[in-house]
Structure 1
Amino acid sequence: MPPWIAALSATLLMQSVASFMTQCLPVVAPLITEAAGLAPERVGNLSSLVALGTVLFLLLGGPFLARLGPVRTLQAGAAIAAIALLIAGAGTVAMLALAALLLGIGYGPSPPAGSRILAATAPKGHRALIFSVKQAGAPLGGALAGLVAAPVASAAGWPMALLVGVAAGLLAAAAIQPLRAALDTERDASRSIALRDVLSPHTIAAPFAVLRSHPALPRLVALSVAFALCQGCLFSFTVTWLVEARGLTLVEAGGVFAVMQAAGVAARIILGWLADRTGNATRNLALQGLVAAAIVTALALLPASAGDVAVTALCALAGFVAASWNGISLSEVARLAPADRVGDVTSGTTLFVFLGYVAGPSLFSLLVTLSGGYALPMLLVAAQLAAVAAYVALARR
């Protein structure tokens, strides 16, 4: 077996499971927020805390990745996320907030560790496709959350749905253990992970400093952040929007959410292949951003009389174009980064992306409260993505 197949299998599995675990919260959010006495739109604040946890790992986790190796770091992340879901089962506001933060920390290893593994093994002529297949695990995990967590929560209660996520994380961590000897060969066992080294100015500055290593990186980061704002809001609020504003049951809304995520799985593979064929990934992403903005605008303006078929179709289109950019972006980052700094550059890029995930859902939640509905926040999300995509397209021209 070529080494890249084993590497892709391991990273795809862990990406899927990490996404499944993090998406369990927004999928069962209507039940969790009700049990905790929170307004439904407060799921946006929980999603922001998840993203903040990922930012903390990306900012401070470099020494752990170097010391433990990417496979062991992915296993540790899965274990932390499992602990987070157990804490969330307490159901209080404080425990939900702590769980959301830990869930984000557990997700944090997926981008840099996965990129480090694939950058070392993926054939260069197929890099965008291979990275996109790995990133297809994110919507795949989300689709499974919609198909599994929502029915389990409706039938047995939302704590049981979270336990399914715990089991998935621990089983996946055990499954990749046989690959550690082959994929963690470059780890630095002498790298210090003492608190003074983890919190040192050098560690904190490293993800930011490496973004100056190529002049095209800032534009790519800006576009990725705009996509993250859009995707973060879609994934955080789709189920709640469908239940609260469109009158669907939780199981029905979970099904639509699964369709959105499944469309993202297909799109990441198709658009990743297209990026390899055209050889111009950043231009492709800019055009994709303009189309995504148009689809989200159509969702925001969808009349109340629109049937379930129209809602599902638009959600599928949104998942196809607004949630399929990650792999292409990461492959471009790996291509532009110095060969010995792929992990650091990926961490820096992804850190900014997750700042978008932090800000987007919380701002969206605030706008829902202020405007009394979901239409205005969705229009603003679409507008910022269209503006940045247009800027990047014109700048390249």
Structure 2
Amino acid sequence: MPPDNSGSLAGASWKVALSVTLLMQTVAAFLNQGVPVLAPLLTGSAGLPPEAAGHLSALGTLGVLVFLILGGPILARLGPVRTLQAGALIGAAGMALASLGGTIALAAASVMIGLGYGPTPPAGSRILAATAPPRHRSLIFSIKQAGAPLGGMIAGLVLAPVAVAWGWPGALALAVGIAVVSALVIQPSRASLDVEREPDRPVGMRALFSRRNIVGPFAALRLHPLLTPLTALACSLATVQGCFFAFAVTWLTETHGMTLVEAGMVFAAMQAGGVLARVVLGWAADRTGNAAMNLIGQGLGGAAVVAVFVLLPPLGFLPTLAIGGLAGSLVASWNGIYQAEVARLSPPGRIAEATAGSSTLCFLGYLIPPAIFATLVTLTGSWLLPQLLAAGQLLVVALLVLPRLRRGG
């Protein structure tokens, strides 16, 4: 069906577009990172071992992948703003479900929270690609993506103390309220940002599970020769970020003797480093004109810092806080530059589709490695080897894709 051309998304204010996408990215990340922040309490209440946090993280990523693979028709029919609102409400419902406790409730809640996060990459890219000034594209995408570590930082600073003071059900209730209010706040932007939608697009089971809908996002990666190596690098970066952040609070409390509040503050510092670095490095990518090579540099630096962080003995709260912030600034600052590059390399009419396909493969780095990580911790009884393997694979992948990305820059 042809899109509704009663208006043009390209004519919308990029400032409004950035405000909406930044807010909803922050809220989605706040909900998504709330699980690892509260993991020691959630897993303990359900009678699960600490390393089960990795399995909950993997289930959340599975939810993200479900939307990225199947959600194209929904995004086209509802429009990006309405889809972001729906995602926030689904994530809120997941948080409410988690408050029931128990293994089944936590597993289902993790999937729902991930499903609610799913719209943020394609919906955000669709909005910003049409509204962001080209010369500031990497910076604007990076500011939007700064919402991811910002949401995690807020989760670490807010949810952990609330859970200690009023119990983890109280922390989950607070998260539900924040998500619902945010979905209501962006309602006025629909008039300008949901104009290019397809109100008659089928969204039934046949449309969602059709071969064309499932294969289309992956086929879009053939639209430019650099999309494949760029996606491989992003998947590798996601592996480190996923393992590093999913286990950070549990790892620090288990091996460094930190309290939940202290570990939550270190987690927040890691996220804060990512917030600042996303903006600074996004600006630098626009200035250098070779964003892919910037990503290579971040990958090599991130692998080194993570390896040093996990090899160091316990140093006390403040040094751990500082090193955590440095590590987070490198392993959690690549997403905006990556998404801006995918948007730049893709034809205008295929940006959401290419972003969904690339992000699907990228999110495999958040899905499979944390589950492997948790299994290795169980088998070896050590947190060190899995962390070093995660950092090592990033070093290898960055060096492998370096020649192609350098030639194509």
Does the TM-score normalized on the shorter chain lie above 0.5? yes
**In the alignment, which residue of structure 2 is the partner of 1:301?**
311
**Residue equivalent to 2:398:** 389
Task: Work out whether residues 132 and 327 of structure 1, in 8 Å CA contact, stay in contact via their aligned partners in 2.
Answer: yes
2:156 to 140, 146, 162: 146
Q: Does 1:212 align with 2:256?
A: no
The amino acid that maps onto 1:366 is T
Could you say which residue in structure 2 is the equivalent of 1:375?
Answer: 384
Shift of 1:313: 1.8
Which of 81, 90, 115 is matched with 1:80 structurally? 90
Q: Distance in 1 between matches of 2:401 and 2:326?
A: 23
2:120 matched to which residue of 1?
110
Alpha-carbon distance, 1:395 to partner:
3.1
Distance 2:53 2:285 in 1: 34
Q: CA deviation at 1:116?
A: 0.3
Rounded Cα–Cα distance in structure 1 between residues aligned with 2:121 and 2:174: 23
Answer whether contact 1:8 1:134 (CA < 8 A) is retained. yes
> How far does residue 45 in structure 1 lie from its aligned partner after superposition?
0.2
Q: Deviations over 1:125-176 (max 9, x none)?
A: 0000000000000000000000000000001011111111111110110000
- State the alpha-carbon separation in 2 of the partners of residues 2 and 344 from structure 1: 21
Tell me the number of residue pairs that the alignment of Structure 1 and Structure 2 aligns. 396
Aligned to 1:173: 183
Match of 2:335 among 298, 301, 326: 326
Kept in 1, the 8 Å contact 2:265–2:321? The answer is no
Aligned partners of 2:226 and 2:405 also within 8 Å = no
Match of 2:145 in 1: 135
Q: Check if 1:365 corresponds to 2:379.
A: no
For 2:309 and 2:380, the matched residues in 1 are separated by: 17
Aligned partner of residue 247 in structure 2, secondary structure: helix
Cα drift, residue 373 of structure 1: 1.4
8 Å contact from structure 2 (residues 121, 356) kept in 1: yes
In the TM superposition, what are the counterparts of 1:1-397 in structure 2 within 5 Å?
Answer: 3-304=13-314, 306-397=315-406
Q: CA deviation at 1:308?
A: 2.3
**One-letter identity of the residue aligned with 2:120:** S
Cα distance in 1 between the residues matched to 2:317 and 2:233 = 32
- CA positional deviation for 1:235: 1.2
Distance in 1, Cα, partners of 2:97 & 2:317: 35
Preserved CA contact (<8 Å) 1:259 1:316: yes
Partner Cα separation in structure 2 for residue 163 and residue 250 of structure 1: 19
Rounded Cα–Cα distance in structure 2 between residues aligned with 1:293 and 1:111:
24
SS for the counterpart of 1:91 is coil
Distance across 1 between alignment mates of 2:42 and 2:24: 25
Residues 111 and 396 of structure 1, relative CA distance in 2, 3 Å threshold: closer
Show CA shifts across 1:163-203 (max 9, x none): 11111110110000000010000000111111111110000
In structure 1, give the amino acid aligned to 2:26: S
Mapped to 2, the partners of 1:395 and 1:3 lie a distance apart of 36
Displacement of 1:2 after TM fit?
7.1
Offset of residue 394 of structure 1: 3.0
Report the alpha carbon displacement of residue 383 of structure 1 after superposing the two structures with TM.
0.3
Contact 2:24 2:84 in 1 (8 A): yes
Instruction: State the alpha-carbon separation in 1 of the partners of residues 30 and 189 from structure 2.
Output: 22
Kept after mapping to 2: 8 A contact 1:287/1:393:
no
Preserved contact between residue 12 and residue 192 of structure 2 (Cα < 8 Å): no
CA distance in 2, matches of 1:284, 1:162: 38
Give per-residue Cα distances to partners, 1:207-261, cap 9 Å, x unaligned: 1100000000000000000000000111111000110110000011111111110
Letter matched to residue 336 of structure 2: G
- 1:98 is displaced (CA, Å) by 0.5
- Matched to 2:351, the amino acid is V
Q: Which amino acid aligns with 1:86?
A: A
Q: Which amino acid aligns with 2:399?
A: A
How far apart are the structure 2 equivalents of 1:56 and 1:239? 27
Q: TM-score, normalised by structure 2?
A: 0.96
Q: Is the 8 A contact 2:129 2:343 kept in 1?
A: yes
Separation (CA, whole Å) in 1 of partners of 2:326 and 2:361: 26
Partner Cα separation in structure 2 for residue 177 and residue 199 of structure 1 = 29
Contact 2:262–2:317 under 8 Å retained in 1: no
Decide whether the 8 Å contact of 1:300 with 1:376 is kept in 2.
no
Amino acid at match of 2:305: I
Query: What letter matches 2:175 in structure 1?
Result: G
